[in-house]
Amino acid sequence: MVGDWRKALFSLAILAMLGVTPAAAQDYPNRTIRVIVPFGAGGPTDVFTRALGEELRKALGQPVILENRPGAGSIIGTTEVAKAAPDGYTLLMISATQTVVETLNSNRPYRLMRDLVPVAAVMNSELVLVVPQRSPVNSLRELIALAKAKPGTLNYGSSGPGSNYHMAGELIKNLAGLDMVHVPYKGSTGARADILSGQIDMMFDSVPTMAPTIEEGRVKALGTSGKSRSPVLPNVPTIAEAGIPEYNHTIWIGVMAPAGTPKPIVETLNREINKILSRPEIKESWRRQGTNTMVMTPEAFGRYIEAEIERWAKLIKANNIGVN
């Protein structure tokens, strides 16, 4: 009995030092919620976070403000949230990128599962490999043949070291035995501009983001990254179909909060986000854009993140993938 009483006092003291009281948790939310997106504007994480943020604003009755903090392969934005007060008013959009960075870059001031807590999963989607319209290649097999004929001369752009787009390129290099140069950008917007102008030879991008550009004939699509064809690009083969049978890679995003965020606040956010993602009109709208909603408890999402960290760690170490 005395031990339980002391534990309760200790917990209250910790919450008080952090500026979070039980009453504050019960009153949540009563002011603006900041959502840090550690990527540039225009990418899938940014686009779908804005859509979710608007629905969350309606559900919670408080402003939900998105702030882009790109740079260092998501480390800048993720660090900001890891150091924020654990009161539910600063949240992080996490993607597969941060699970890659756990292994790829040890020089960061946080540890994902130590300094942040899972809140909710949001969505997953395929990537698509594109080349400039004026590129001489028209298929994945032709691209592989050209890369092998001219080792070290072709390049591919990405939104930064450790990003989904970087790892998608590294996987294709390693599985096909290619020697290509990685060109990292500070966000995906610059890479998109340069693929259109032909300044880079190829890039991976999300299907929802790149599909309109493909349909306009401004780039050529060589393959999508999932196990089955994208309903948005049904005429584009998967990379597995097109010449690399082992290839499979999808992107996903979710929400995390600083470690120490009270469980009632995490549960409130999880419940409201899952309600939004479970609405038939949201599911269908996102599906038409090439995205699948993901509904998970915080605990299930935590296990998912840990599995992703382990999966990427094995691939990175087995293939000697670096940050450049």
Whether the upstream peptide bond of residue 44 has omega within 30° of 0, thus cis, is no
Residue bearing tokens 């949540």:
28
Angle between helices 263-278 and 280-288 (to 10 degrees): 70
Q: What domains does the chain contain, in order, with CATH numbers?
A: 2-124+252-319 (3.40.190.150), 126-242 (3.40.190.10)
**What letter represents residue 100's amino acid?**
V
**What letter represents residue 213's amino acid?**
T
Which residues 6+ apart lie within 8 Å of 178 measured at CB?
144, 147, 148, 151, 154, 172
Q: What is the pLDDT of residue 43?
A: 72
Rounded Cα–Cα distance for residues 259 and 224 (Å): 36
Joined tokens for residue 286: 């996102």
Q: What is the pLDDT of residue 44?
A: 74
Q: How far apart are the first and last CA of the chain?
A: 56
Render each residue's pLDDT in the chain as its tens digit; 324 residues. Answer: 445 555 444 555 555 555 555 555 679 999 999 999 998 777 777 888 899 999 999 999 999 999 999 888 789 999 999 999 999 999 999 999 899 999 988 889 999 999 999 999 999 989 999 999 999 999 999 999 999 999 999 999 998 777 888 889 988 998 999 999 999 987 788 999 999 999 999 999 989 889 999 999 999 999 999 988 998 999 999 999 999 999 988 889 999 999 999 999 999 999 999 999 999 999 999 888 888 899 999 999 999 999 999 988 987 887 777 665
Rounded Cα–Cα distance for residues 265 and 261 (Å): 7
**SS in 3 state form for the chain?**
CHHHHHHHHHHHHHHHHCCCCHHHHHCCCCCCEEEEECCCCCCHHHHHHHHHHHHHHHHHCCCEEEEECCCHHHHHHHHHHHCCCCCCCEEEEEEHHHHHHHHHCCCCCCCHHHHEEEEEEEEEEEEEEEEECCCCCCCHHHHHHHHHHCCCCCEEEECCCCCHHHHHHHHHHHHHCCCCEEEECCCHHHHHHHHHHCCCCEEEEEHHHHHHHHHCCCEEEEEECCCCCCCCCCCCCEHHHHCCCCCCCEEEEEEEEECCCCHHHHHHHHHHHHHHHHCHHHHHHHHHCCEEECCCCHHHHHHHHHHHHHHHHHHHHHHCCCCC
Joined tokens for residue 295: 């509904």
In DSSP terms, 202 is beta-bridged to 156
Establish how many alpha carbons lie within 13 A of residue 300's alpha carbon, considering only the half-sphere containing its beta carbon: 10
